Structure 1
């Protein structure tokens, strides 16, 4: 079994996905992970990979990690209509390293305009070969603290 560690994408307080006031995230309909109640104003890459989705508003993006897993970072709940809050600093298709800045945000405007500041970090549809292990609750620092581990079962070698 191999493991990939996901770092905190933003400084704040890690909480279970159950706490997110959105049934899609709380019900793990997209996949499993953790949410962050942000206190920082910079979202960073939780893992090395490629930016494969970047919403024009900057409130959400997806990375394809080097292991092939797709990771969604969604800043806030009902935050897509927020004005002047998000400023992406990466482009679609860009290669990023863990801890590299992705999106700057105006934290005060974000808290005022989003229905909830809780920001889910989700491994999209992990499937039977991948399992998400939550590592952190409580205070976390962006790009430094591990919040999840993605465990991958190795596929049997076809030659054995």
Structure 2
């Protein structure tokens, strides 16, 4: 269901001998690579809401499975993840590091920051603050785990350009300031300032939506996570 943008993204599903026929709230949420890894031989975008996923003779069984999941799913809870920085939204696939672009550490989005104050995107607990301060992990009470990785190859800066206001174990509220960045220094000495914001335990949620495109303000709604 994650590959389809969660069950809440599905308006209707049908099938024939060759394909699933899906009507969606937002077809841009489809993860084509994930669908192909699950056995789809192709994904056809009909329009903004309708897609066909080619699964061959398995399509009818998959349709019934999807309908069963939708009909038996409890009321989905949602968690809004706020933007920890102001800047420009970057698709995770476009991050200039294959570890992030190929989603080895989780899924989410990235920001090319224009602000130097990092705020907490959720209420929770600091579970990791790397000694080099370039990466911080936060766990929400719901269990969602978020990684903010400031820049690419910034571990090589050995903490220079980063001033942390928190430590491991701290309880924080959404919007609390957690770090200050020397953006000019980091831009000059790091491979990239693009900052991935990842849900690291992606398989424990029912999907997520990116709520903003283009430019985003600090503390603006960034992701809607379906628990």
Do they fold alike, i.e. is TM over 0.5? yes
Aligned to 1:79: 154
Measure the CA separation in 2 of the matches of 1:114 and 1:137: 25
Q: Which has the larger radius of gyration?
A: 2
Whether the aligned pair in 2 keeps the contact of 1:43 and 1:103 (CA below 8 Å) is yes
Measure how far apart 1:24 and its partner are: 1.2
* Aligned pairs (5 A) from 1:30-109: 30-82=105-157, 84-109=160-185
Aligned to 1:156: none
Whether the aligned pair in 2 keeps the contact of 1:32 and 1:132 (CA below 8 Å) is no
Whether the aligned pair in 1 keeps the contact of 2:79 and 2:226 (CA below 8 Å) is yes
Aligned to 1:15: 90
Which residue of 214, 222, 225 corresponds with 1:138?
214
| Structure having the larger proportion of residues in strand | 1
Partner SS, residue 187 of structure 2: helix
More contact order relative to length (CA 8 Å, sep ≥ 6): 1
Measure the CA separation in 1 of the matches of 2:148 and 2:107: 12
Change (3 A) 1:85 1:149: same
Change (3 A) 1:102 1:122: same
User: How high is the TM-score relative to the length of structure 2?
Assistant: 0.64
Runs of 4+ in 1 over 4 A off after TM superposition: none
| Structure having the larger proportion of residues in helix | 2
Partner SS, residue 127 of structure 2: strand
Aligned length: 151
